[in-house]
Amino acid sequence: MSTPAMWCGQSVERVEDAALLTGRGRFIDDLGVKPGTLHAAILRSPHAHARVKAIRADPARQAPGVAAVLTGEDVTKLCASLVVGVKAPIECWPIATDRVRYVGEPVAVVVAASRYVAEDAVDLIEVDYEALPAVVDPLAALDTAQPVLHEGLRGNLASERSFCYGDPEGTFAHAAHRVSVTIRYPRNSCTPMETYGVVAEYDVGEDAYDVLANFMGPFSLHAVMARALKVPGGRFRLRTPPDSGGSFGVKQGVFPYIVLMGVASRATGRPVKWVEDRLEHLAASVSATNRVTVLDAAVDADGRVRALAWDQVEDVGAHIRAPEPATLYRMHGNLTGAYDIRHVSVRNRVVLTNKAPTGLNRGFGGPQVYYALERLMQRIAIELGLDPVEVIRRNLIPSGAFPYKTATGATLDSGDYAKAFENALADGGFAALREKQKEARAQGRVYGIGLTAAVEPSVSNMGYITTVLTPEERRKAGPKNGAQATATVALDPLGGVSVHVASVPQGQGHRTVLAQIVADALGLKPADIRVITEMDTARDAWSIASGNYSSRFAAATGGAAHLAAGKIKAKLARIAGAQLNVAANEVEFADGKARARGNPDNAVAFSRLAAASHWSPGLVPVENQALRETVFWTPPELTPPSANDEINSSLCHAFIFDFCGVEIDRTTCAVRIDKYVTMHDCGRILHPGMVAGQITGGFAHALGAALYEEYAYGPDGSFLTGTFADYLVPTAMEVPNPVILHLETPSPFTPLGTKGVGEGNCMSTPVCIANAVADALGVAEINLPLSPAKIAAHLHGAERTPRKPQAKPVAGKGRTLHGSGQAQAAAPPQAVWAMLLDPKTLAAIIPGCHGVERLSDTHFRAEVTLGVGPVTGRYKADIVLSDLTAPKAVTLTGVVTGALGNGGGTGRITLAATDDGGTTLAYEYDAEVGGKVAAIGGRLLDGAARIVIRQFFAALARHTGGKKPGYLARLFGRGA
């Protein structure tokens, strides 16, 4: 009796857009706050690893407008550690306690009348750090001789598990070939345009928290937050704003700040608002994990892969913050990709390093896995002398094998991989691309083709993360599984229909698609359906799987809405049947009416029917009363890990096959995407325009990951990409228009036959581009991002040594600067020498100097204000003079510390008399910079340092030969 779908499948205009296009969006910072709300700013660590010796916050506490300054000591009194997902004796606080473990880790929270005042007060806090050696590289972190981040652990290895499926050992032993790749997947992030925001209020009378935050789920973290705030779940009310400016997984990471601001509100007795700035976001929100993978394949002579051996070292940063180490286990069921491979061994290790903690990020584990697997497939073709197309073709799971159970335990729900693959090659013009490559190469151009096949999992099993535990540990903890989705459909007294869901969108258009789904079910127009997606844990139906992640909307939430509408419809059909004198199963819903099938004139208006249970419940049997229906739906296929560690990690599995042609410019070494074809089988498509939007959007993220984006850290753990001028995301200039192809094989496991589609290209595209670049360059080992500098090394060999000898960067140190220059002073060397040693003169000529204090003849202390790019800050400088050869040469060694960073350096100044009685000053310096200054402007630093130093010597020269003869005469008199 289902009405044929009409609205689903159409690219209807989005209901969300009118408000967003006219500036009437309701993002968290657009909503007003209660009068008296305070504003928070966070002091963050400039060090990757240091002991916090002392925090002097009294000047900040006493500043006008400041309500409180909270340090780790204050915060830990009011909350508990966030629970950690592995069995290890480590804690995870939302603020540093005795140690900082990454650049950007919160050290103190200032709560004040305005954000401006709070930021001023942050600058007044002085922290004494004892710097500790940092460990940045995940493999180095495994070495027990390296610095240890958490003393509860003996080293930095937080979790290790090995798995065996089938007979990998025997298969490798008898294999014709063994092919291996080693990859280092970098850290990157999808960086939503809107940053985190939280407004927290504590009610002391009820011991309850009410928090508004642009959190995206999963709401399993609600339990983590409530436990950290030490209240039962019902006393931790979490609400989300109607609009959220993108997330891509990243807004999961706002949750430690929800706890922190909850504590700040409790400490001050006032609501507290915090909005993250971009530097905070880039340095310390969350990123994808970086991972080192060694992947081996046992291969037949014809390229058929028989076994895989995975060895993955996952770098989760300085803390294992929930839900990590989920990134490592999300793909566990589909580690064999789109291929029919029956024997698999896996060794998974999770390490801690002095980098920001990781978390959800679009693709979540997929980019790392497919980078290894699909690089391997290309290497198999090359090492066996086969066509890469043929190697993929021979290994794809055969048509007709679905549902297909993988070696590691996933059930691949549906698909026809072979058909999608062949269609893509034919419709995407693969043969023509090969011809084009041949021609380009004949002309001496650098042109490559890449291929990728991938399975895109969606609707995560909430139990997959427990695969990190041993079967014994899982038995003790109790089984975890499922993926509860929920939707509520309600009828109002005027017969209107509303839908409430816990899907928490960040721009994906959920309201539009839910209106389509429910309109189809009830024979209405989408405009008749009012959809509410802002969420309130105190009022809405929700569960731990609620939220917007693992591409679960279309399959899970959409399906739940369809089921809830179906329940309402079944009741309405019984009411209508009684009124129309037909059986309920003879009632159909169309054109805003319920009518007798085959007799459209025997009809009742939907609105009248829908209002009946409000106005005349006495006329409607209780079991038929249709007011509000809430459906919770969890797929039975999502079972807990088996005793053999088999895990159906996701409900749905879409298929992707991509190929591309890239050309590399020999001079600039830039990679240009000539053609990109992406074939998707994501099951039934509800809104083609939005599916295209998810694919092009994901493709752009992936292109950034492939070519430009990396959260870069110096060897000392300093963070180097703190602005959008350093962390380069693609613009319209870089993103081509991909050719998108579809096959639709509905999922048998979801109510609407839908699957996820939002993350696929983040999994397939980075390696597809890398395969093309590797093909173009003819190289075996290649890692992202494929920057011109990396490609130049392949195309042109190692860079020649510069003619001028440069100081080598010191291992373990931060960003190093080198420079030298000359200046001419009108005064003779002796006079200049005296000036250099005179605090008053120094104060007058050091750029931005507020005063110089002489601690001894050779030890000075200065306060200076320096600006680098957009960041201006006040610093304390300690300068020691050594190797003095009056009046010829002096060495200055300085340490600079400030809220914005720290640095140190050495400079040698030599003075030489000129023929006309003046002095030539020559200087040379080496300096290192860390902290915020290093993060905001690698590219700006060298220039800024050069300018400041040049200004100093120019000022010195002006002082000696400027237009103030009186002063000069005095100077000469003293110097002579």
Using CB under 8 A as the criterion, which residues of the chain lie in contact with other proteins when the complex forms? 11, 13-14, 16-18, 20-25, 27, 29-30, 116, 190-195, 243-246, 248, 277-278, 506-509, 689-690, 692-693, 696-701, 723-725, 729, 731-733, 735, 737-738, 869-870, 936
Structural tokens at position 962: 């400027």
Residue 192: CB minimum distance to other proteins, A: 6
Cα 703 vs. chain centroid, distance in angstroms? 15
DSSP characters over 900-912: TEEEEEEEEEEEE
The residue (of 16 and 311) whose beta carbon lies closer to other proteins is 16
The span from the CA of 394 to the CA of 976, in Å, is 89
Residue 753: CB minimum distance to other proteins, A: 23
Residue 724: CB minimum distance to other proteins, A: 4
The residue (of 14 and 321) whose beta carbon lies closer to other proteins is 14
DSSP characters over 115-129: HHHHHHHHHH-EEEE
Residue 191: CB minimum distance to other proteins, A: 6
Residue 243: CB minimum distance to other proteins, A: 7
The residue (of 243 and 588) whose beta carbon lies closer to other proteins is 243
> Look-up: residue for tokens 């990951």?
705
The residue (of 242 and 388) whose beta carbon lies closer to other proteins is 242
The residue (of 246 and 828) whose beta carbon lies closer to other proteins is 246
The residue (of 696 and 906) whose beta carbon lies closer to other proteins is 696
The CA-to-CA distance between both ends of the chain, in Å, stands at 107
Whether 498 contacts 490, CB under 8 Å = yes
Residue 541: CB minimum distance to other proteins, A: 25
Whether 199 contacts 33, CB under 8 Å = yes
The residue (of 37 and 76) whose beta carbon lies closer to other proteins is 37
Residue 771: CB minimum distance to other proteins, A: 21
Q: By three-state DSSP, how is residue 538 classified?
A: coil
Q: By three-state DSSP, how is residue 914 classified?
A: coil
Structural tokens at position 412: 């691949």
Strand 671-681 to 739-742 pairing: parallel
Residue 241: CB minimum distance to other proteins, A: 12
The residue (of 24 and 53) whose beta carbon lies closer to other proteins is 24
Cβ neighbour number for residue 637 with a 10 Å cutoff: 20
The residue (of 30 and 203) whose beta carbon lies closer to other proteins is 30
Whether 103 contacts 47, CB under 8 Å = yes
Q: For 15-71, where are the alpha helices, taking DSSP H only?
A: 17-21, 58-62
Cβ neighbour number for residue 258 with a 10 Å cutoff: 28
Of 102, 152, 136, which is closest to residue 256 (Cα–Cα)? Answer: 102
Whether 913 contacts 829, CB under 8 Å = yes
The span from the CA of 24 to the CA of 96, in Å, is 38
The residue (of 212 and 462) whose beta carbon lies closer to other proteins is 212
Residue 893: CB minimum distance to other proteins, A: 33
The residue (of 682 and 832) whose beta carbon lies closer to other proteins is 682
Residue 183: CB minimum distance to other proteins, A: 25
Give bridge partners of residue 492 from the DSSP assignment.
Answer: none
The residue (of 239 and 278) whose beta carbon lies closer to other proteins is 278
Residue 39: CB minimum distance to other proteins, A: 10
The span from the CA of 876 to the CA of 56, in Å, is 15
Whether 136 contacts 715, CB under 8 Å = yes
Residue 244: CB minimum distance to other proteins, A: 7
Cβ neighbour number for residue 643 with a 10 Å cutoff: 10
The span from the CA of 676 to the CA of 738, in Å, is 5
The residue (of 500 and 687) whose beta carbon lies closer to other proteins is 687
Residue 194: CB minimum distance to other proteins, A: 5
- In eight-state DSSP terms, residue 555 is I
Whether 524 contacts 518, CB under 8 Å = yes
Structural tokens at position 39: 């504003």
The HSE-up count of residue 972 (CA atoms within 13 Å, CB side) is 15
Strand 66-71 to 177-185 pairing: unpaired
- In eight-state DSSP terms, residue 801 is P
Element (H, E) at 659: strand 650-664
The residue (of 242 and 753) whose beta carbon lies closer to other proteins is 242
Torsion sign, CA atoms 349, 351, 355, 357: positive
Residue 75: CB minimum distance to other proteins, A: 26
Whether 289 contacts 401, CB under 8 Å = no
The residue (of 599 and 872) whose beta carbon lies closer to other proteins is 872
The residue (of 25 and 496) whose beta carbon lies closer to other proteins is 25
The residue (of 407 and 936) whose beta carbon lies closer to other proteins is 936
Name residue 486's amino acid. T
The span from the CA of 785 to the CA of 770, in Å, is 9
Structural tokens at position 424: 């893509």
Residue 676: CB minimum distance to other proteins, A: 11
The span from the CA of 593 to the CA of 525, in Å, is 11
- In eight-state DSSP terms, residue 330 is T
Name residue 485's amino acid. A
Q: b/e for 232-253, b at 16 or more Cβ within 10 A? A: eeebbbbbbbbbbbbbbbbbbb
Residue 116: CB minimum distance to other proteins, A: 7
Structural tokens at position 80: 């508990």
Residue 205: CB minimum distance to other proteins, A: 30
Residue 694: CB minimum distance to other proteins, A: 9
The residue (of 758 and 904) whose beta carbon lies closer to other proteins is 758
Q: b/e for 178-208, b at 16 or more Cβ within 10 A? A: ebebebbbbbbbbbbebbbbbbbbbeeeeeb
